[in-house]
Every structure is written in structure tokens, then in C-alpha cells.
Amino acid sequence: MWDAVVVGGGLAGWIAGIRAAQRGKKVLLVTEGVGTLFYFSGIFDYGDVERLRHLPKHPYTLFNSQAIVQGKHFVQEICPEYVVNDRPQSAFTVLGTVRQGDLMPRSMVLPDRQEQGEFVLLVPEGLKDFFPETVVANMAREFPGWQVNVKRMQVDALAEWTRLGKSVSSIDYANIWRSEEGQRALTNEIEEIKRQSQGAGRSQGKIVVVLPSLVREYFDSSRTKPYKSEFSLPVLEMSSFVPSPHGRYFAEYLKHRFTDLGGELMIGARALSLNGESTSESQAKACQELKVHSMGKTLRLKGKKFILATGGLLGGGIKVGMARKSIHEGVFDLPLFVPKEWSESQFFAPQPFAQIGVETDEFMRPLDPTRGQVVWDNVHVVGRMLAHWDPWTQRCGGGVSVTSGYAAAELV
């Protein structure tokens, strides 16, 4: 029997699994696919925590300020390259505009606007959906005291691709940067930038190379030993666009951290249902086993605790049919909060459907909204499955996922 069975391989599920395994618990993580981390930009947003904690039923109301800070520091503990700061930090988007974030790798953090210097945008040939002219114009507007120049780069390993006109994604380039050949090519380009800038006397301050792809190997694991070199100039990474190298390698990194701690993993398994019975002390049922379908077989997984982290509407944890009444939670058949109106006519307005999810008590145990009673005594709901919040307009997706996942692990 496992101490905890985590259902779902998104951010909240991995955080819960890693923290529980770190505490010495026997943990199984069950996931049907790769989760939505492949869309992760590399930046965690927490939103205006104190304001959101005063909104009725927002997930942040389940936690005190210390619990939210603990989760943030846990991210830095398992991935030390991430910077924890009391204030939001800024990074470049792939369009050259500036966005704020609450937790990001130090290789993304922008320099002070009051400084003077030169940005050199290093543009790999053939990069898909990347528009250097737009990026340069936006960077110059965001940093009026800085020069912005462009240097184009060809990579021998992808020469045949570009000759055939085949587009190259940022994930393709991230794979190149992890190789000895790619690192050597990048080192040579940066050395040339340094010589040209200093020889021409263009820069009045420091020179910063900007790259639209993952370069630094801060998602490193004991099982992955990429080639590394030190660059002679600071290298600044932009936040990722889809398909996201940051998301891909972060998901891979979390998987390795989990299994290296002794966590067990079941990939490609579809959770079907829970079996349990009511306890004598309350009306809540205690779950005893989870039924999953894997490799053509139905398995029964016994656990003391179960953590639901299946990702809500976009993650597939909530199923919606053509009829309004056909909306349901797809694994445990938990009752859902569903707003009366699903959508707002204005496209950029907060959309009510984002609030759909499972209501819980202070221990993240699922509640029946009509009776206000706990449904399963040993089930905890985390991440996007929680009701009454909007990760887009409230910009708190990473914060809610990390905080709830970490808090659930502390309850195992």
C-alpha cells in the first residue's frame, strides 16, 4: 500500500509527489500523458497574493502567508537557479516586450533599466515563429537607454534543415545547445559579438546577449549530464513560446527528482474510479483503492491518501459534453461548482468557466456544494482542479499549483 497516490502529471502533481517522497513517504504518481507543463514559459506567476486571499473561496484563502512562501522556497530548493524575491521580477517575452513574474531563473531576470548597455539579439537561422524586427523594436522601446543590435547565427547541425526550408522550433535549438557541438558554436558566436562590440566602441556599458531559446542547463538532473561551457558575456533568455523547451525540460527534471527520491511512476495509465466506504465517525467516505486502466489491464491501487491533480478543463480532469448537465469530474466523480453563466461576451473579460472546479474544506478535501460536507476523507484536490479562481486574469496559476501541491504533501 502506498502512503499517497498522486493522480496527474502537471505542476501541482509533481510538486506534491516530490515533497511527499522527500518526507520519506511511499508515493505513486499516475499520469495518462505528459501534462500541461509542456506549455510552461519558465516563469511562475503568483498574482497579488494578499488581495486574492481576501476574495471569497479563492484557493489562496485555504493557506496562510507562510504556507505560500514555503511552497515558493521549495521550488528554489529543488531548482536552485530560480530566484526568490520579495518583488516581482521582469523578463523578455518572445516578442521583446517585458512581462513580470514572481519566480524565474536568474538567466531570465532583466537588468536595471537605469543602466546603460547593449543588447545583442542572437537569432538562430530558421527559428519558427520568431520575428526579429518586432522583437528589436519592442526591446528598444522597453529599454530606451540601451542599444539593441541583431546578429544572425547558423548552426552546422541544422544546415540541411535550413537548406530545405524546414522550420526549426525552440525545442530543436534547445537540444542543440545541450550538445558539445552546439555549446562550442554558441561560445564562438558570443566571442565574436564581444570582439565586434568592443572593437567598434558601440556599447557605453555592459553587453548582454539575448537568446530566444533555452541555453542554460538549470533543469539538470543526476541522470542527465549535458556538455556545459562558460560564456564570456552575460546570456539572457527570453520566456518560452510553444512548444516550450522550458516546459519540456522542467517536466523531465521534475520526473527525475521524483524517481531519484524513490517515487514510483505509472505513465500512460488512465484513472477510472475510487472505491471506498463511509467512516463511522462521519458521513465522508474513506477511499481504499483507485482503479486505473494501463496496458490493456485494469489495476487496483491501494493507498492511504489520494491527491487529485488532473488539471481541470484544459488538463482533461473535467469532462464537458454537448449538454450542460454532462459536465463532470472525470476520475473521482466529484461534485463540481459550475457558474450559472459560462462565458462573458467580451473576449478579454474574466470568463466564468475558469471558475469551474471542486470546492474543498481547509484541508483540500472535496466538498459537496449543496450540503457543504466532505465527500472523501482521505482525498486532497490541488492545482487547476480547485474551484473559484482564474489563472489568466488573476495571473496566479503557478502560485496556486505550487502552494496546493506542497500543502497536500504535508498532509500525507
Burial-class residue 196 by CB neighbours within 10 Å (0-12, 13-18, 19+).
Answer: middle
pTM to 2 decimal places: 0.92
Q: 319 and 18 in contact (C-beta within 8 Å)?
A: no
Question: Hunting for cell 531519484 — which residue is that?
Answer: 260
Q: What is the pLDDT of residue 220?
A: 60
Q: Give the pLDDT of the chain (412 residues) as one tens digit per residue.
A: 999 999 999 999 999 999 999 999 999 999 988 777 888 999 999 999 999 999 999 999 999 999 999 999 999 999 999 988 888 899 999 999 999 999 999 999 999 888 889 999 999 888 888 999 999 999 999 999 899 999 999 888 888 887 787 888 888 888 888 888 888 999 999 999 998 877 766 555 789 999 998 887 766 654 444 445 678 999 999 988 777 899 989 999 999 999 999 999 999 998 888 887 765 555 678 888 999 999 889 999 999 999 999 998 878 888 887 665 678 898 888 999 999 887 777 776 788 889 999 999 999 999 998 888 999 999 999 999 999 999 999 999 999 999 999 999 999 9
Q: What is the pLDDT of residue 150?
A: 95
| 3-state secondary structure labels for all residues of the chain | CEEEEEECCCHHHHHHHHHHHHCCCCEEEEECCCCHHHHCCCCECCCCHHHHCCCCCCHHHHCCHHHHHHHHHHHHHHCCCEEEEEEEEEEECCCCCEEEEEEEECCCCCCCCCCCEEEEEEEECCECCCCHHHHHHHHHHHCCCEEEEEEEECCHHHHHHHHCCCCECHHHHHHHHCCHHHHHHHHHHHHHHHHHHHHHCCCCCEEEEEECCCCCCCCCECCECCCCCCCCCCEEECCCCCCCHHHHHHHHHHHHHHHHCCCEEEECCEEEEEEEEECCCCCCEEEEEEEEEECCEEEEEEEEEEEECCCHHHHCCEECCCCHHHCEECCCCCCCECCCCCCCCCCCCCCHHHHCEECECCCCCEEECCCCEECECCEEECHHHECCCCCCCCCCHHHHHHHHHHHHHHCC
Q: What is the pLDDT of residue 218?
A: 67
Q: What is the pLDDT of residue 324?
A: 55
Q: What is the pLDDT of residue 241?
A: 76
Q: What is the pLDDT of residue 55?
A: 94
Q: What is the pLDDT of residue 96?
A: 96
CA distance 303 to 7: 12
Whether CATH 2.60.120.10 fits 2-82+249-410: no
Q: What is the pLDDT of residue 279?
A: 59
Go through the chain and tell me how many residues it has: 412
CA distance 250 to 377: 32
Q: What is the pLDDT of residue 227?
A: 47
Q: 143 and 203 in contact (C-beta within 8 Å)?
A: no
Residue 369: cis peptide before it, omega within 30 degrees of 0: no
- The residues pairing with 31 across neighbouring beta strands, listed in sequence order, are 267
